[in-house]
Copies of this chain bind each other. A is one copy, B any other.
Amino acid sequence: MALRVAVAGASGYAGGEVLRLLLGHPEIEIGALTGGSNAGAVFGSLQPHLLPLADRVLEPTTPEVLAGHDVVFLGLPHGQSAAVAEALGEDVLVVDCGADFRLKDAATWERFYGSPHAGTWPYGLPELPGHRAALKGTKRIAVPGCYPTAVSLALFPAYAAKLVEPEAVVVAASGTSGAGKAVKPHLLGSEVMGSMSPYGVGGVHRHTPEMAQNLGPVAGEEVTVSFTPTLAPMPRGILATCSAKAKPGTTAESLRAAYREAFAGETFVRLLPEGQWPQTSSVYGSNAALVQVALDEHAGRVIAISAIDNLVKGTAGGAVQSMNIALGLPEELGLPLNGVAP
């Protein structure tokens, strides 16, 4: 019998991508679709690529509309998830694609988000050591940020094997869908096409502490991340170029062995063959993360690079994968592994 799933914030990019994946999920029946200012609109005018839902009408995001579902995905602005989750009750699986329940440290939350800390939920990055177990049977899931997903997958094997120093430098390029569907002048097509632009430079991007929170426990020591995000002229994809000083004794072989071991048995994370580097087009529309690593002996640094689709593995795919684990379904159910390329 199919599980009934609602999506709050269905007109946004995260909500739309959750629905695209759920439409291909064999155990799911799609229930309510809700929106904020878009409530009342015909869904096909907002997400014309989701053909089977074209005639649906967006409902308002209220407890009444969201009631009666087995799973509710939230794609809401920061700060709204706690109240909705509470109203839904403890028996409903709530999967929050927002940031509200990602960070453990209240002070850090408040410094970066400027609002009271709501708490912490099991973190939907099952490949990160220790997290898959916490997702089994849970009724609450905090979906990771897109950049922390890419960066954590690229770096955690090196930290787990104690091969690098705890000061990481990350420069990541993201497709524009990572900035959401809210209209802002700098996100106009005329502005982004043909242009690379940095933003949130100098340690102020909200995903920075989430990366440190993910890598520190794996490293067994506090990890500092210097993170610079850039906007790339493409709709989707994150390419995260990460590096850290190699610890004495680190070799190309020990590095490769660490990554091979870390990803062994994982369906969605692949260490590429030596010499082949990840490109975002390979994971377009896919839940896969491609990773490669190298040792720059002259500069004494380990370079690890990952490519993900920010809307799939970085958001909706990670969300559905975690939902599968929480519900006891096969982890890969309904999730595309192949990219849409070229």
Contact = CB atoms under 8 A, between A and B. Distances in A.
A184 to B, nearest CB: 7
Given A176-B193, A190-B181, A342 B202 contact: no
A303 B239 CA distance: 19
Given A44-B276, A298-B203, A337 B52 contact: yes
Q: Which among A13, A188, A228, A232 has the highest number of chain B CB atoms within 10 Å? A: A188
A314 to B, nearest CB: 14
What's the number of copies of this chain in the assembled complex?
A: 4
Interface string A37-48: 000001011011
A196 interface: yes
B342 A191 contact: yes
Nearest to A188: B187
Nearest to A19: B338
Nearest to A277: B198
Contacts of A336: 24
Contacts of A233: 189, 193, 232-234
Contacts of A285: 285, 340
A248 to B, nearest CB: 16
Interface in A223-245: 224-226, 228, 230, 232-237, 239, 241, 243
Size category of the A interface is 35 or more
Interface stretch (A70-78, A92-100, A289-297): A289-297
Nearest to A52: B337
A257 to B, nearest CB: 17
Contact of A183 (B185, B194, B294, B339): B185
Contact of A237 (B195, B270, B301): B195
Nearest to A294: B202
Contacts of A160: none
B49 A196 contact: no
A23 B272 CA distance: 20
